[in-house]
Amino acid sequence: MDAPVLPMPAPLCLVTNKDGVLALNPAALAVLQEVAQPMVVVAIAGPYRTGKSFLMNRLAQKRTGFPLGPTVQAETKGIWMWCLQHPRQQGVTLMLLDTEGLGDPKKGDSHNDAWIFTLALLLSSTLVYNSIGTIDQKALENLELVTQLSELIRVRDRDKDGNNSVEREDEAEDCEFVRYFPSFVWVVRDFTLELRVGERPISEDEYLEQVLELKHGHGRKVQNYNGTRLCLRNYFPTRKCFVLPPPLGTEECGRMEELPEAALAPRFLQQAAQFCNYVLSSTRLKTLPDGRALTGRALCMLLQSYVEAINSGHLPCLEGAAAVMMANENAAAVAAALEAYTRGMRGLSLPTEPAQLSAAHGEHLHEALIVFQRRSFRDRDQEHQRRLMEQISTEYSHLQEENDEASRRHCKALLAELAQALHTSLAHGAYTQPGGYRAYEAERQRLLEGYRQAEGKGPKAEEVLNEFLAERQAEAEAVLKADNALSEAEKQLEDQKQQAQLLEQRQKAMAERERQLEALLEDERNSYAQNLQALEAKMQAQLESAQREWDRALEAKLREQRELLQRGFREQAALMEQELAALRRESNNNSKQELAASILDAVRAACDLVSMVKVSKLAKLRGTAAKATARR
Q: Please write the tens of the pLDDT for every residue from 84-142.
A: 999 999 999 999 999 988 866 665 556 778 899 999 999 999 999 999 999 988 889 88
Instruction: Please determine, for residue 238, whether its predicted confidence score (pLDDT) is greater than 70.
Output: yes
Residue 319 vs residue 528, higher pLDDT: 319
Please state, in angstroms and rounded to a whole number, the distance separating the CA atoms of residues 368 and 351: 23
For the stretch 608-624, pLDDT in tens is 555 555 555 555 554 55
Q: Kindly report, as residue ranges, where domains of CATH 3.40.50.300 are found in the chain.
A: 12-316
Q: Are strands 200-201 and 196-197 parallel, antiparallel or unpaired?
A: antiparallel
For the stretch 152-167, pLDDT in tens is 899 887 655 444 444 4
Do residues 97 and 80 lie in contact, with contact meaning Cβ atoms separated by under 8 Å? yes
Name the pTM for this structure. 0.76
> For the stretch 158-190, what's the b/e string if a residue is b when 16 or more beta carbons lie within 10 angstroms of its beta carbon?
beeeeeeeeeebebbbbbbbbbbbbbbbbbbbb
Residue 291's pLDDT band, with cuts at 50, 70 and 90, is confident
Please report, rounded to a whole number, the percentage of residues in the chain having pLDDT higher than 90. Answer: 36
For the stretch 531-569, pLDDT in tens is 777 677 667 776 776 777 667 777 777 777 777 777 777
Q: What integer pLDDT is reported at residue 270 of this predicted model?
A: 94
* Helix, strand, coil % over all residues of the chain, rounded to 5: 65, 10, 25
Q: What integer pLDDT is reported at residue 3 of this predicted model?
A: 55
Distance, first Cα to last Cα, the chain: 58
Contacts of 60 (CB under 8 A, 6+ apart): 66, 82, 84, 94, 96
3-state class (DSSP) for residue 231? helix
Please report, rounded to a whole number, the percentage of residues in the chain having pLDDT higher than 70. Answer: 79
**Closest among 344, 352, 395, 397 to 368, alpha carbons compared:** 344
For the stretch 465-482, pLDDT in tens is 888 888 888 787 787 777
Write the single-letter amino acid at 603: V
Q: What integer pLDDT is reported at residue 281 of this predicted model?
A: 96
Q: What integer pLDDT is reported at residue 624 of this predicted model?
A: 53
Length of the chain measured in residues: 632
Instruction: Please determine, for residue 179, whether its predicted confidence score (pLDDT) is greater than 60.
Output: yes
| Integer angstrom CA distances of residue 83 from 69, 346, 583 | 22, 36, 34
Please state, in angstroms and rounded to a whole number, the distance separating the CA atoms of residues 347 and 336: 17
Q: Where are the alpha helices (DSSP H) in 346-382?
A: 354-375
Q: What integer pLDDT is reported at residue 170 of this predicted model?
A: 53
3-state class (DSSP) for residue 44? strand
**Closest among 304, 401, 383 to 345, alpha carbons compared:** 401
Q: What integer pLDDT is reported at residue 92 of this predicted model?
A: 95
Q: Is 250 exposed, middle or buried (0-12, 13-18, 19+ CB in 10 A)?
A: exposed
Query: What is the average per-residue pLDDT within 498-510?
Result: 77
Annotation: CATH topology of 12-316: Rossmann fold (3.40.50)
